Amino acid sequence: AQSVTQPDIHITVSEGASLELRCNYSYGATPYLFWYVQSPGQGLQLLLKYFSGDTLVQGIKGFEAEFKRSQSSFNLRKPSVHWSDAAEYFCAVAARGAQKLVFGQGTRLTINP
Amino acid sequence: DARVTQTPRHKVTEMGQEVTMRCQPILGHNTVFWYRQTMMQGLELLAYFRNRAPLDDSGMPKDRFSAEMPDATLATLKIQPSEPRDSAVYFCASGLAPGNTGELFFGEGSRLTVL
């Protein structure tokens, strides 16, 4: 069965600092990989996705993620965070060709001024 | 501005009452998903539809939950009777298949509190 692990429940960084959120997946073959963001009281919004090809993918709001097959990881990064990035971030996987998403437990990001 | 619309945004009800949540997917989308979000379980898939046909409802407690798509512009999730453990935020999401695989557009959710 597919599973997604986000090891960090809560991360706090200072505004302007770099950010890396971790995501590991367990799946028989390379799935489709996604990062979604949820602001308080809102639904989820897609940040970026990886299907194939270049293992470094760019997303919205200055985020990027790197797929590492050998580590079964898809970590999210941002070189310099802004106070508006405070939110909950979800890593998700889907079987190739499918739309059904399996989500990780989420990482809550707090930004210190 | 195309968006998924969910109603009600908030619902407080008493145990045993029937609850119906509604979702209007983005026009032209042919897949609809219902997710439930709780602190303990995170985001759980309850059911999803493609071209109005249910494809998977294995995540849904069958004895009290039911999901339907009466037409392409409306999806409903019903709980009868409701229980306190059903308190959660219920999200509807829509997408387009085949094509933008995995890119789902979420509504703002319906926050349910069962007393």
Average pLDDT over residues B15-39: 96
Residues in chain B: 115
Q: What pLDDT is recorded for position B101?
A: 64
B91 shares contact with chain A (CB less than 8 Å): yes
A44 shares contact with chain B (CB less than 8 Å): yes
B33: chain A residues, CB-CB within 8 Å:
99-101
**Does A28 have pLDDT greater than 80?**
no
Q: What pLDDT is recorded for position B96?
A: 87
DSSP single-letter state for residue B39: T
Q: Which tens digits make up the pLDDT trace of B28-85?
A: 999 999 999 999 999 999 999 999 999 988 889 889 999 999 999 999 999 999 999 9
| % of residues, chain A, pLDDT over 70 | 100
Average pLDDT over residues B91-114: 87
> What are the residues whose beta carbons fall under 8 Å from the beta carbon of B90, sequence distance 6 or more?
B6, B21, B34, B35, B36, B37, B46, B77, B109, B110, B112
Tokens of A98: 């499918």
Q: Is A97 exposed, middle or buried (0-12, 13-18, 19+ CB in 10 A)?
A: exposed
B93: chain A residues, CB-CB within 8 Å:
43-44
Average pLDDT over residues A57-69: 96
Average pLDDT over residues A92-96: 87
Task: Match 């989820």 to its residue by tokens.
Answer: A44
Q: What pLDDT is recorded for position B102?
A: 67
* Nearest-Cα residue of chain A relative to residue B96: A99
**Does B100 have pLDDT greater than 80?**
no
Q: What pLDDT is recorded for position A98?
A: 76
Q: What pLDDT is recorded for position A31?
A: 87
CB contact under 8 A, A105 and B91: no
Tokens of B115: 């007393």
Q: Residue A96: pLDDT band by 50, 70, 90 thresholds? A: confident
B97-102, long-range: CB < 8 A, 24+ apart: B97/A99, B97/B30, B97/B31, B97/B50, B98/A97, B101/A32, B101/A51, B101/A94, B101/A97, B101/A98, B101/A99, B102/A32, B102/A34, B102/A49, B102/A92, B102/A94, B102/A98, B102/A99, B102/A101
Q: Which of residues 22-81 of B touch A (CB under 8 A)?
A: 31, 33, 42-43, 45, 48, 50, 56
CB contact under 8 A, B104 and A101: yes
Distances (CA, A) of A67 to A55, A57, A85: 5, 8, 22
